[in-house]
Amino acid sequence: MAPFPSVKAALSLLALLGYLDAKADIAHDLRLLSAVIASGRGCSHAERHGRLNFFFVLEDRATALKTRDHTFLIFEGRSWTYKQAYETVLRYGAWLKDRHGVKRDEVVAMDFINKPTYLWMFFGLWSIGAKVALVNYNLTGDALVHAVKMSKGRLVIVDQEVAQKVLIGEEGEKSRERLVSEGIEEGAGFAEREVLIFDDGVERVVDTWTGRREPTEVIGNRKFSEMGVLIYTSGTTGLPKAANIPYTKFYRSADFVRVFLRLRQNDVFYTCMPLYHSSAMLIGVATCISTGCTLSLGRRFSNRTFWPEVKESKATIIQYVGETCRYLLSAPKPAEPAEDHNHNVRLAFGNGLRPEIWAQFRERFNIPIIVEFYAMTEGHSASWNYNTGPYGAGAVGRSGWLIKMLTGRKHVIIRLDLDGEHPLRDPQTGFCRKVDVGESGELIWELDASDIKSSYVGYYGNKEASAKKILRDVFKKGDVWFRTGDLQRQGNDGYVYFIDRIGDTYRWKSENVSTNEVAETMTRFPGGGIEEVNVYGVEVPNHDGRAGCAAIKLKPGLGGEAYMRELGEWMKNVMPKFKVPLFVRTMAKMEVTGTNKHVKTGLRLQGVNPEKVGLVEGENGMDAWVGMEEERVWWLRNREDGGGYVPFRKRDWDGIVGGKMKL
């Protein structure tokens, strides 16, 4: 009988440890801490030995017995080992130097879709000591010219598929002429910018080039804060800015994710997110190289190809950004439900998974681990939520007592004046004020006041935009903090939740409205059928603030007057009056960035002005719409009673403009 008390004691101890871990989050904190230490140690070691350029890590994998013959890349049925990838990279580097005269520290702009050539070109440039500007392949016209000009490079290499869209035709030729001649600074050393379309013929030439490894002093010896790559912001609120990504961030991001996710060499990491974005490049490509595992690359996101590519490559990890998971859920369910579980995925990793679909996504596709994170391309910190169940679902970060003790003073949420978008300061001390637990405010990260560039180097060639991200004298004289521009809140349990972008939150009836909160509520409409929601504030004549407007994409066949009336009535019952969108705009298609984030700029500028949304006065006083059949504007004309959304007419707009209607 003696063993039984010890077994009971052991079980009691395990139960106690489980309870303490649940309350204090010790396991998650230790996972986080080990990743921070490993990434810092690895980066410091690389700097001391002049090997901060991540090309050296690729070289190590390609020459080590354990990894050189291991598959590095899978793309549309083809595969390359680390050794084959390295040899290809050396050919590209030699060609860039010999044929185009690319030198150490020169910035070269790349405008490519996802394909193996993207990686060969990127690391080929790093193999000869050059630097890279990753241009968003969706940019055209002014935005494209602006992005390339910001890089200050003399060479831009454009993928042939991208060139068909951005450099061919009347408008494309204009863009090409501007790319050649505009934005070249005096004393730059070149009179015109070279625009090279990388087509099949050029690729065949490169494939026959003799590769060579440049001397280490050409490739390495980089400073801690030295720029290695330019990654552009999404441009959801205007022209993109070039975030200055130091070699250290590339290195640290890869090492951190490798340790935090506990990746193994036999893992296969699938991403179809665009390589011009930090998620796919820093967290996808670099992490795979750091681990020595396999990258399965998709050309672009598509519901049609996502799961077939995941299954064919036997991917164990999938990456998502923005609305990706919602799009996957919107795909028709297979005749046999078990088919959705027929994969090897153990972990989904990314940012932007909405709380309201978190459980649905996990259940439908049987994915045990979801790792949601919050970070910024131009920022120096992040938050992480390694989630295995319903507790903490929807959070973008979590921290127990250990992490709070070590970093709690470096990550702070402060009170904000949303009208002026500036921090609220104590009238007596002049310092900022922290929010209470459960209260939303702007997240800020502390910087080293004695050496700001050690953690924040700002936007490339844009001192004004860089300075706007800096906040000084926050809690004491002389301290310096980084403004994320995002609203978050933290609960008693240590979980952190994303609320909204500061510029997206709007004020109506003297109240602040979170666009994310409204969007999440609308997707729960019992009538169903709402596939996407993009909420924003619009200016209306003779009224202060901005009225709420929700652009929605419905399933085919929905959106009639009865449906819209029911939607409006339901919204008024489940949300405070000031939060219910006054207007709803049904859309045939949502505009999104390359990383599946909704774009608000154009919608916000159009507002509900009939001239801008395609509403014209038709014959016999009846309104007519110019555009897609599905696209209409609806509104709560009788906001005070129980009525729902009704069609928005030109006469309604005229009444608002004339001051005859009080909203």
pLDDT of residue 595: 80
Is residue 620 over pLDDT 60?
no
Q: For the chain, report the end-to-end CA distance as a whole number of angstroms.
A: 78
DSSP type of residue 76: T
pLDDT tier, 323 (very low <50, low <70, confident <90, very high otherwise):
confident
Whole-angstrom Cα distance, residue 204 to residue 206? 5
DSSP type of residue 285: I
Whole-angstrom Cα distance, residue 8 to residue 619? 84
Domain(s) labelled CATH 2.30.38.10 in the chain stretch across 409-500
> Under CATH, domain 409-500 is a member of which superfamily?
Luciferase; Domain 3 (2.30.38.10)
Interior/surface letters 487-514, b for 16+ CB within 10 angstroms, e for the rest: bbbbeeebbbbbbbbbbbbbebeeebbb
Whole-angstrom Cα distance, residue 136 to residue 145? 11
Is residue 14 over pLDDT 50?
no
Is residue 661 over pLDDT 60?
yes
Q: State both tokens at 280.
A: 């796919």
Instruction: Indicate if the alpha-carbon torsion angle 40, 46, 52, 58 is positive or negative.
Output: negative
Is residue 1 over pLDDT 50?
no
How far is CA 601 from its chain centroid? 17
Token pair 């209306």: residue: 540
460-471 average pLDDT score? 90
pLDDT of residue 351: 93
CATH of 29-398, one of 3.40.50.12780, 2.60.40.10, 3.30.1330.10, 3.30.420.40: 3.40.50.12780
Angle between helices 55-63 and 82-100 (to 10 degrees): 130
Give the helix/strand (H/E) hosting 515. helix 515-522
Whole-angstrom Cα distance, residue 229 to residue 289? 17
pLDDT tier, 112 (very low <50, low <70, confident <90, very high otherwise):
very high
How far is CA 192 from its chain centroid? 34
| Between 520 and 184, residue with greater pLDDT | 520
3-state secondary structure 465-484: HHHHCEEECCCCCCCEEEEE
Whole-angstrom Cα distance, residue 178 to residue 493? 54
Instruction: Report which of 96, 58, 95 is spatially closest to residue 80, judged by C-alpha positions.
Output: 58
113 contacts 161 by C-beta, under 8 angstroms:
yes
DSSP type of residue 558: -
- The three-state secondary structure class of 597 is coil
Give residue 298's identity as a one-letter amino acid code.
G
Domain(s) labelled CATH 3.30.300.30 in the chain stretch across 508-657
Instruction: Indicate if the alpha-carbon torsion angle 270, 275, 279, 285 is positive or negative.
Output: positive
pLDDT of residue 189: 74
Q: What sections of 313-375 are H helices per DSSP?
A: 324-330, 355-365
Using one digit for the tens of pLDDT, what is the confidence trace for 525-553?
988 889 999 999 888 888 878 899 999 99
| Between 635 and 81, residue with greater pLDDT | 81
Give whole-number Cα distances, 119 to 89, 128, 129, 297, in Å.
8, 14, 15, 11
Instruction: Report which of 51, 351, 14, 434 is spatially closest to residue 220, judged by C-alpha positions.
Output: 51
> Under CATH, domain 508-657 is a member of which superfamily?
ANL, C-terminal domain (3.30.300.30)
pLDDT tier, 2 (very low <50, low <70, confident <90, very high otherwise):
very low
| Between 195 and 403, residue with greater pLDDT | 195
pLDDT of residue 420: 67
Give the list of residues 6+ apart from residue 464 with CB closer than 8 angstroms, or none.
none
Q: What percent of the chain has pLDDT over 70?
A: 91
Instruction: Report which of 652, 644, 649 is spatially closest to residue 564, judged by C-alpha positions.
Output: 644
pLDDT tier, 236 (very low <50, low <70, confident <90, very high otherwise):
low
Give whole-number Cα distances, 307 to 270, 303, 635, in Å.
10, 7, 39
Whole-angstrom Cα distance, residue 140 to residue 147? 10
Is residue 201 over pLDDT 60?
yes
pLDDT tier, 3 (very low <50, low <70, confident <90, very high otherwise):
very low
Whole-angstrom Cα distance, residue 383 to residue 372? 9
88 contacts 80 by C-beta, under 8 angstroms:
yes
How far is CA 555 from its chain centroid? 26
Q: State both tokens at 346.
A: 């153990």
pLDDT of residue 9: 55
Is residue 20 over pLDDT 80?
no
pLDDT tier, 500 (very low <50, low <70, confident <90, very high otherwise):
confident
Whole-angstrom Cα distance, residue 148 to residue 239? 12
Pick from 222-226, 255-259, 608-612 the range whose average pLDDT is largest.
Answer: 255-259
**Residue 158 bridge partners (DSSP):** 111, 197
Whole-angstrom Cα distance, residue 115 to residue 132? 17
pLDDT of residue 640: 59
11-34 average pLDDT score? 66
Q: Are strands 369-375 and 347-351 parallel, antiparallel or unpaired?
A: parallel
Domain(s) labelled CATH 3.40.50.12780 in the chain stretch across 29-398
482-488 average pLDDT score? 91
Give the list of residues 6+ apart from residue 436 with CB closer than 8 angstroms, or none.
none
Q: State both tokens at 322.
A: 């923005």
pTM score: 0.85
Q: State both tokens at 69.
A: 């013959």
Token pair 């110019």: residue: 626
Give residue 455's identity as a one-letter amino acid code.
S
